[in-house]
Structure 1
Amino acid sequence: MVSLIVAHANQNVIGFNGDMPWHLPSDLKNLKNLTEGNTIVMGRKTLETLQKPLPNRKNVVLTRNKDFKFDGVEIIHDIDEIKNLEGRIFIFGGSNVYKQTMHLVDEMFITKIHETFAGDTFFPEYDVTEWEIEEITPGVVDEKNKYAHEFMHLTRKL
């Protein structure tokens, strides 16, 4: 099974100037809970934004750059190699990796942030009617989590 995890704001914004335009600790906690002990697949730019592999999970980078190396990260050069990875796999971004792998995804974990931000990086458009809504959990807005948000779990309709 291939899963996808993303946080996006209105207009499917996921980034601006190489970073996320919001700070939402509850989303980071959700991300950690879902992906720890599993495999995350990301593009080179996403890894460079993080500056280091995420701990307690297998970090895999999908890149066309045959010379790319990074300590603590497995490198793959072809989308077809994703199916050879072991364990539960989460597509982790960025925008190009999401676009290239959407057809492989069986389920999506989406943190939908009900806010409009300036953005230059976007999650691909998706038709929610092609997905079963398994769960929608409202996020708590408080002094640390300033934006209205919800956690969605969608599975692809057969």
Structure 2
Amino acid sequence: MITMIAAAGENNELGKDSYLLWHLPDDFKRFKQLTTSHHIIMGRKTFETFPKPLPNRTHIIITRNKDYNKKGAVVVHSLEEALQISKDDLQPFIIGGGEIYKMGLSVADKIELTRVHGTFNDADTFFPEFSKEDWQVITEVEHEKDEKHKYAFTYETWVRK
């Protein structure tokens, strides 16, 4: 099962200049819980936002740059290569950014989407639109705004019909 995992605003905003537009500690904890011990597939720009590779995960970086090399990660040049490398993982995760999500939408079986209840006009990266005819939400868990979270959000789990 190939899973895309993302946090997106009401208009599918993901970030600006390769960084998220919000800080949601509980969402970070959920991301860690879901992705630990799995392959995480991402673009080069997403990887470069990490101060170091995330522990207990196999990092697969997709880049067009044939000379790109990063210690602690597997570098590939297509989504197909990334999926081949992660074929023994029962649930590899596609973690972004925007271009990688667009490629992943056609192969994903599941979307773990944190819907951030806000709009962000300065976003430059977006989660792709997906058809409610092809996908159905199977769980929704709401999280209210609080002292640690500037925005309310909902964890949505979508599966392909």
The residue that corresponds to 1:107 in the other structure is 110
TM-score by length of 1: 0.95
SS of alignment partner, residue 138 of structure 1: strand
Deviation at 1:78, TM superposition (A): 1.8
Partner deviation per Cα, 1:96-127 (whole Å, 9 max, x = no partner): 10111210100000000010112111111112
Deviation at 1:45, TM superposition (A): 0.5
SS of alignment partner, residue 4 of structure 2: strand
TM-score by length of 2: 0.93
Q: Give 2:151's match in structure 1, choosing from 147, 152, 157.
A: 147
1:107-146 to 2 correspondences below 5 Å: 107-117=110-120, 118-146=122-150
Asked whether the equivalents of residues 4 and 104 of structure 2 are also in contact (C-alpha less than 8 Å), the reply is no
The residue that corresponds to 2:32 in the other structure is 32
User: Going by fraction, where is helix more abundant, 1 or 2?
Assistant: 1
Which sections of structure 1, spanning at least 5 residues, go unmatched?
none
Structure 1 stretches (4+) deviating beyond 4 angstroms?
Answer: none
Count of aligned pairs between the two proteins? 157
Q: 2: distance between equivalents of 1:125 and 1:67?
A: 32
Asked whether the equivalents of residues 7 and 14 of structure 1 are also in contact (C-alpha less than 8 Å), the reply is yes
Q: Percent identity?
A: 39
Paired amino acid for 1:145: H
Asked whether the equivalents of residues 24 and 145 of structure 1 are also in contact (C-alpha less than 8 Å), the reply is yes
**2:93 matches 1:90:** yes
Q: Is 51-60 or 20-29 further displaced after alignment?
A: 51-60
Paired amino acid for 1:94: G
RMSD: 1.1
The residue that corresponds to 1:156 in the other structure is 160
Which sections of structure 2, spanning at least 5 residues, go unmatched?
none
Q: 1: distance between equivalents of 2:137 and 2:11?
A: 20
SS of alignment partner, residue 14 of structure 2: strand
Deviation at 1:59, TM superposition (A): 0.7
